[in-house]
Amino acid sequence: MVSSPSRKRLSIGIVGGGIGGVAFAVALSRDPSLDVHLFEAAERFSEIGAGVSFGPNAVRAITRLGLEASYRRIADSSPAPFEDVWFEWRRGSDDAYLTATLAPGCGQSSVHRADFLEAIVANLPEGIAQFGKRCVEVEQDSEGVTAHFADGRTFTGDILIGFDGIKSAAREHVLPPAQYGDLGPFWSGTYAYRGMIPTEQLEAAMEAKGADKRLALVPQMYLGPDRHILTFPVKQSQLINVVAFITDRATPHPQLPEGEEWVTSVTQEELLGVFDGWGAGSQAILDCIPEPTRWALHELPELPHYRRDRVLLVGDAAHAMVPHQGAGAGQALEDAYVLASLLTDKACDRTNAEEVLAAFETVRHARTCQVQRTSHEAGDVYEFAGVGIGDDEAKLIENLETRYDWLWNHDPGDDVAAARRELGWETHAAPRGSDGRQA
């Protein structure tokens, strides 16, 4: 059993050691007055998946978390003069250029998930993380909160933060099914075929198919009815991350076949069949993926709230979304920065920690729900199913050029300021980010 020493200002348990949970723990660990414990179900830190991209808002959160140097060492970007390109958009049937979405000063800032997690972990002090700790139950009372783990151990502290992903155990405590019904993950109707291709191999394949070689190097999105393909570089541009999507829109609420795994290996023949008749660029890409994996993309409904007294859901535990705006990891990092800023404020202690969690939820809930909703809508737009847009290319171009502005222009420091106002902390000096600016 692990419990909190009373000499500390606040005892915090974190369930889940993914990108968001570790970044949050690192930020808290810089405050010696906090007692911080991170519990990870696996036997070591690990990430599934391949590439992950970050918009300007996510890079801003990384900087505020004091992790920019770690990030910059491994982050990829597009080659000049395309460094501001988030994606070029093309017609899947013939590779015809439609438009580009620009993220000035950021572009398609991407990393390999495992590399990024490793880079963040390097900042985590010894003794904070414990492994083999799968949370199975949470209970709380007026004195504290206790997490029960599958190995029979427990943790008791002042607050518990559920960074434990889309299959969160903490979520059932915050939103008991008997009271709220099933608010767990559901299949989005979309499959994502994934693969990684050596950059030189893809360049050669593009040339062999008569496609422009630059399609291998600059982030691309190929669009078509109920399907789209994206590519962007990772691993210092040594590899190209590929995700090819197909969505079932034949029924309002498609169901995954009984017993089907979320992730499964499939044949290249299946993948090529899904995109039969697409252009030379698409064919070159798919020809280079001999052993694709197929992911059934799940998401969460918009939850009515994220907090129950001493327990708070954040990241994918609260707002898991489809990846169509490259926004899921970014929202987890925004959560980590905002919450860490509040908990490390000297005005926060065990007597008002619940109010702090409530203020966090107040300033974050509407935004994260909107990111969930618009991420799903973005997939519709890419696949010619956007409401009022369809396959009208003029409307499609107009939408793609501007739809991310509200998402990317957000400053999580504004959320911190709003939460401080909610708490009546305006008279306290606002915490400063690692870049020295006031949050």
pLDDT at 106: 83
Give pLDDT tens digits for 166-225: 999 999 999 999 999 999 999 999 999 999 999 999 999 999 999 988 899 899 999 999
Which class in CATH covers the domain with range 2-79+111-184+300-423? alpha beta
Tokens at 94, concatenated: 């013939």
pLDDT at 158: 97
Percent of residues, the chain, with pLDDT higher than 90: 82
Q: Is the pLDDT of residue 439 over 70?
A: no
153, 194, 214, 403: which one is catalytic? 194
pLDDT at 432: 46
- On average, the pLDDT of the chain sits at 92
Give pLDDT tens digits for 299-358: 999 999 999 999 999 999 999 999 999 999 999 999 999 999 999 999 999 999 999 999
pLDDT at 134: 95
The three-class DSSP label of residue 310 is coil
Question: Where exactly are the structural domains of the chain?
Answer: 2-79+111-184+300-423, 186-299
* Cβ-based burial of 83 (10 A; exposed 0-12, middle 13-18, buried ≥19): middle
Question: What DSSP string runs through 134-153?
Answer: -EEEEEE-SS-EEEEETTS-
Q: Is the pLDDT of residue 418 over 90?
A: yes
Q: Is-catalytic flag, 194?
A: yes
**CATH architecture under which domain 186-299 falls:** 2-Layer Sandwich (3.30)
Q: Which residue has the tokens 């993926």?
A: 289
49 vs 381, residue with greater confidence: 381
pTM metric for this prediction? 0.93
Give pLDDT tens digits for 210-268: 998 889 989 999 999 999 999 998 887 888 999 999 999 999 889 999 999 999 999 99
Query: What phi, psi does 108 have (nearest 5°)?
Result: -90, 85
Count other Cβ atoms within 10 Å, centred on residue 48.
Answer: 9
pLDDT at 330: 95
